[in-house]
Amino acid sequence: MMSRAGIAFMRLIAHLPLSWVRALGRALGLVLYALVWSRRKVVDVNLRLCFPQWSLSERRRVAREVFVYVAQSFLDRAWLWHAPPEVVRRRVHLTGAVQELAGRDATILFCPHFVGLDAGVSAMSQQVPRSFVGIYTQQSNPVIDAWVLKGRNRFGDARPMSRSEGVRDLIAALRAGHVMYLLPDMNFGPEESIFVPFYGVPAATVPSLSRFARLGKAKVVPLITRLTPQGYEVRVGEAWQDYPTKDLEADTALMNRRLQAYIDEMPAQYYWVHKRFKTRPPGQPGVY
């Protein structure tokens, strides 16, 4: 019942002016920053490890902004998924090397976890005439799961695939001309990860970007989404040159270095509420 009430609320605010939705998101973010101390600690640890040159006051300022951006981007799902299509197109601006997505070349979108990730998905499926495929993690709540799936696949031709479908099906879809969304910058545990530096800290990182690009003979195109007062800017980057190589570890380390450059442009909009360094190298203590 609570889930259905929450979805009804999102449908209701979908038609409000954007400035009202953002003001509500700001208030919600500040409340969460004040009350959810455990997640606030996670953000502080992440910022302290990645930006040791920052002062305590600077870390706290950015941490508050992180909570605000996370809350605003969550409420933005209301209009991304429920407002008229012309509203979404007006508020979500696709920029950059969009020509990289022309044709049917095997293409992987490297989509880091910036808060505007869902807006990037909407921009691609609404404004780019390609078929898309992505790895989908099922939500534990079936009502929320159905809502998220319907929202993310609202426009165009997008096919979610579960991790259980296996690498072979994903590669087949990629070679058949689907553009693959890949979000490999989270901590997925030690099983399939390797340790490579992220802001100089050993981070368990899934080497899937290099592996899928090599197996699918695909180019890698970064997709970076920035939350703006007008909505979102979704920037398509130039395809990475000389990538992948035969060195899986070097490719994964390069991915993290390029991710750092994207984060440095807007550090408060990265998803620092995630326990990125939860998995530690053998013998090293936990940080959270």
Summary mean pLDDT of the chain:
94
At 60 the pLDDT is: 97
pLDDT surpassing 80 at residue 93: yes
Closest CA to 46 of 281, 284, 270: 270
User: Which pLDDT score is estimated for 113?
Assistant: 97
Burial (CB < 10 A; 0-12, 13-18, 19+), residue 89, is middle
**CA angle 278–284–288, rounded 5-degree value:** 35
Taking a C-beta distance cutoff of 8 angstroms, is the pair 101, 236 a contact? yes
DSSP state for residue 217 in the 8-state scheme: T
Residue 202 forms beta bridges with which residues? 197
Residues 178, 160: Cα–Cα separation, whole Å:
11
Q: What's the rounded mean pLDDT across residues 232-257?
A: 97
Using one digit for the tens of pLDDT, what is the confidence trace for 94-108? 999 999 999 999 999
pLDDT, residue 165, reads 65
Q: What are phi and psi of 179, to 5 degrees?
A: -90, 130
Q: What is the mean pLDDT of residues 123-142?
A: 86
- The pTM of the full predicted model, rounded to 2 decimals, is 0.94
Residue 166 or residue 84, greater confidence = 84
Segment 271-286 mean pLDDT: 96
pLDDT of res. 19: 98
Query: What per-residue confidence (pLDDT) applies to 158?
Result: 74
pLDDT in tens, 42-89: 999 999 999 999 999 999 999 999 999 999 999 999 999 999 999 999
